[in-house]
């Protein structure tokens, strides 16, 4: 039983700052001219990098080369070292390299711009709504959780997410609070699951 959504963090599409692509439109144009040759790094097949990038590639009508690594550190190293040309990270991970001038942001996979990187356009800005994707955290209970208990938990969460101390800690962690109560969270969860399921079916078996 979905009780509340707490965090929903989009991903940021990044390239090296010396990349020839200044915008996501530039990137898409290059990918269309050379299908399957522009490589991106991920932290593993069917993971939280591989799937959203393939969702974005499908929405943009391009084909990219997937190179799987063993985690976030190696995939970042691969991009900075020029072994791949693109990847995606959470805003909190990408922001320091963007601020330092090492990486250039091209796109935000969410529906709205974020305070940490307000200049970065979204998939909605570019008309790629079907590629909407978040790293999210929510609160669930057992499917048969009694209604009065579920209501009490939901009320407690609604109060907690407004607490200044909680919001301060979340801000320090660079985690955006995107609170949704149970019914709205259920709709969010179902829509997210449908997009991901469709993407995994398109990806198919990865050798």
DSSP state of 114: -
Count the residues in the chain. 207
Q: For residues 29-37, give the mean pLDDT.
A: 97
Give the pLDDT band of residue 204 (cuts 50, 70, 90). very high
pLDDT of residue 56: 97
φ, ψ at 24 (rounded to 5°): -70, -30
Tokens found for residue 94: 């990408």
- Closest to 87 in 3D by CA, of 111, 62, 56, 113: 56
Is pLDDT above 90 for 173? no
Is pLDDT above 80 for 118? yes
DSSP state of 146: -
Is pLDDT above 80 for 207? no
Mean pLDDT of the chain: 95
Q: For residues 108-132, give the mean pLDDT.
A: 96
- Closest to 52 in 3D by CA, of 88, 14, 97: 88
Q: Write out pLDDT tens, residues 62-77.
A: 999 999 999 889 999 9
């Amino acid at each position: 039983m979905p009780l509340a959504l707490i965090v929903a963090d989009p991903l940021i599409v990044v390239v090296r700052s010396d990349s020839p692509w200044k915008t996501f439109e530039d990137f898409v144009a290059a990918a269309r001219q050379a299908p399957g040759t522009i490589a991106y790094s991920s932290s593993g097949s069917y993971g939280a990098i591989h799937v959203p990038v393939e969702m974005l590639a499908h929405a943009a009508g391009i084909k990219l080369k997937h190179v799987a690594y063993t985690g976030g550190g190696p995939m970042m190293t691969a991009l900075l070292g020029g072994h791949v040309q693109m990847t995606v990270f959470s805003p909190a991970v990408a922001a320091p390299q963007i601020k330092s001038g090492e990486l250039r942001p091209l796109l935000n996979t969410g529906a709205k711009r974020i305070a940490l990187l307000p200049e970065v356009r979204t998939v909605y800005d570019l008309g790629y709504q079907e590629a909407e994707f978040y790293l999210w955290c929510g609160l669930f209970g057992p499917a048969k959780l009694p209604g009065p208990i579920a209501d009490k938990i939901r009320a407690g969460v609604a109060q907690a997410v407004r607490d200044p101390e909680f919001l301060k800690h979340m801000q320090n962690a660079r985690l955006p609070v995107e609170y949704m109560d149970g019914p709205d969270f259920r709709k969010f969860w179902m829509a997210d699951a449908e997009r991901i399921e469709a993407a995994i079916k398109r990806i198919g078996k990865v050798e």
